[in-house]
Structure 1
Amino acid sequence: MPKASDIKKGSAIEHNGKVFFVKEISKLTPSGRAGATLFRMRMYDVATGSKADESFKADDMINLADFSRRSATFSYVDGNEYVFMDSEDYTPYNFNKEAIEEELLFITEETQGLQILIVDGAPVAIELPSAVDLEIVETAPSIKGASASARTKPATMTTGLTVQVPEYIANGEKVKINTTEHKFMSRA
């Protein structure tokens, strides 16, 4: 059993007899000497989809839930449902738009390396690769000779994600975006 300080975003844990998927973790460090570091976790109940916020001390022991990861690709949109196809046995996994709204900013039909987290036979979350390639659809015109400066400008991707890119990047270019930090990494 890992400690609360070892739990990462995207983990499936058991708490109060239910299985939760950890969506966000924030670390709270009190200023006093005797205060213990707290980890506040925003979790979603796998069965009902309800949100729960819990705080754990750093050395609290937490049970990890049994889950599996399956490689998948984005297939199509069916109303408010997004359908992903298992890369090995072609099993479809449906997700409601609200459940994966944050991840959708990085997913296109060409996105490779997606993982579906499955708990008790049901898909609960999408795990993104560390970086994805996206195309810029809107940004200010590129400036020649701007590669020497470190100035940036906002750029909107095909998925609607807006990130800061260097001034020399132009519309229509593919760029590599870090999915955890939401930052430009390089040209694709």
Structure 2
Amino acid sequence: MIVLVVVFATIFKEIHAFMLHSGAQSGLLQRPLASLRRSRGRPDSAGLFMVISTADFKPGVTIELDGSPMKVVEFNIQKMGRGGSFVRTKLRNMLTGTTIDHSFRGGEKVEEAMIEKVPLLYSYDTPDGLVFQNTETWEDCTVSRKQLTDAIPYLKDGMEVTVMMWKDQVVDVALPATVSFEVTETGIAADRAAASRKPATLETGLTVNVPAYVNTGDVVEVNTQTGEFVKRV
């Protein structure tokens, strides 16, 4: 009986050692856990970038096209005969700020732009661009106005924003959903009805239509996506 136990133990050890050796050679035992947790897309054969399908497109998705990071602004799926389709998109170049129209085949694979999100504080405006500060290192970085055209009217000193970086370049900024501003000037309402609107200039120079009851010196909340008045604070 003792001899049989020893024999089985020896066989088990040899099988276990063989499995460890095979797993190490195939890389399965050394594969990082993070590589198994990708929510969408898949790496290329070298593992250098992520590939997604046009089925993953939605406003805000970032892809690389002709060596530049592009953000999907709009997309529309067009059906064709025999089950085919193509996807018409409006893309914004995140480096230059220009917008282009581009069509893809339905299901076409494209490279996803790997965007890093970094929380920064907006400091001030200069002739060279907008200055942001890293709250951990206290280092400043200057971003061209052309890259942040849509965000400029909503930026206030000391505002915390999420800056998007692509290959160590700042390419975009994510603003809070709403921001409060002081009204510096108001226009004249079209009529005296309670629901009438009038133009108002805010502290950053942004102009929005506000209810007739809003006056100079009031603080109002504005939707940063639509530029519309939300409420008086």
Letter in 2 for 1:83: V
Change (3 A) 1:167 1:3: farther
Task: Report what 2:110 is aligned to.
Answer: 62
Change (3 A) 1:130 1:45: closer
Does the alignment pair 1:117 with 2:160? no
Answer whether contact 1:177 1:186 (CA < 8 A) is retained. Answer: yes
- Aligned partner of residue 62 in structure 1, secondary structure: strand
TM (norm. structure 2) is 0.64
Answer whether contact 1:136 1:175 (CA < 8 A) is retained. Answer: yes
- 1:183 is displaced (CA, Å) by 0.7
Q: Which structure has more helix as a fraction of its residues?
A: 2
Task: Report what 2:129 is aligned to.
Answer: 81
For these two proteins, the number of residue pairs brought into alignment is: 178
Task: Report what 1:134 is aligned to.
Answer: 181
- 1:187 is displaced (CA, Å) by 1.9
| Runs of 4+ with deviation above 6 angstroms | none
State how far apart, in whole Å, the 2-side matches of 1:116 and 1:128 are: 9
State how far apart, in whole Å, the 1-side matches of 2:206 and 2:106 are: 34
Q: Which moved more, 1:82-91 or 1:167-176?
A: 82-91
- Aligned partner of residue 149 in structure 2, secondary structure: helix
State how far apart, in whole Å, the 2-side matches of 1:99 and 1:125 are: 6
Q: For residues 169-180 of structure 1, what are the structure 2 equivalents within 5 Å? A: 169-180=214-225
Task: Spell out, residue by residue over 1:53-98, the C-alpha distance to the aligned partner (whole angstroms, 9 max, x if none).
Answer: 2233564333322221111111122323111112332232211122
Bigger CA radius of gyration: 2
Does the alignment pair 1:43 with 2:92? yes
- Aligned partner of residue 200 in structure 2, secondary structure: strand
- 1:127 is displaced (CA, Å) by 1.4
Q: 1:13 aligns with which of 63, 66, 80?
A: 63
- Aligned partner of residue 163 in structure 1, secondary structure: strand
State how far apart, in whole Å, the 2-side matches of 1:4 and 1:91 are: 38
TM (norm. structure 1) is 0.78
Task: Spell out, residue by residue over 1:121-140, the C-alpha distance to the aligned partner (whole angstroms, 9 max, x if none).
Answer: 22111111111111111113
- Structure 2, unpaired ranges of 5+: 1-40, 42-51
Does 1 or 2 have the higher relative contact order (CA < 8 Å, sep 6+)? 1
Letter in 2 for 1:21: M
State how far apart, in whole Å, the 1-side matches of 2:111 and 2:217 are: 46
State how far apart, in whole Å, the 2-side matches of 1:167 and 1:4 are: 46
- Structure 1, unpaired ranges of 5+: none
Task: Report what 2:209 is aligned to.
Answer: 164
State how far apart, in whole Å, the 2-side matches of 1:141 and 1:45 are: 38
Measured on the aligned residues, the alpha-carbon RMSD in Å equals 2.9
State how far apart, in whole Å, the 2-side matches of 1:63 and 1:33 are: 25
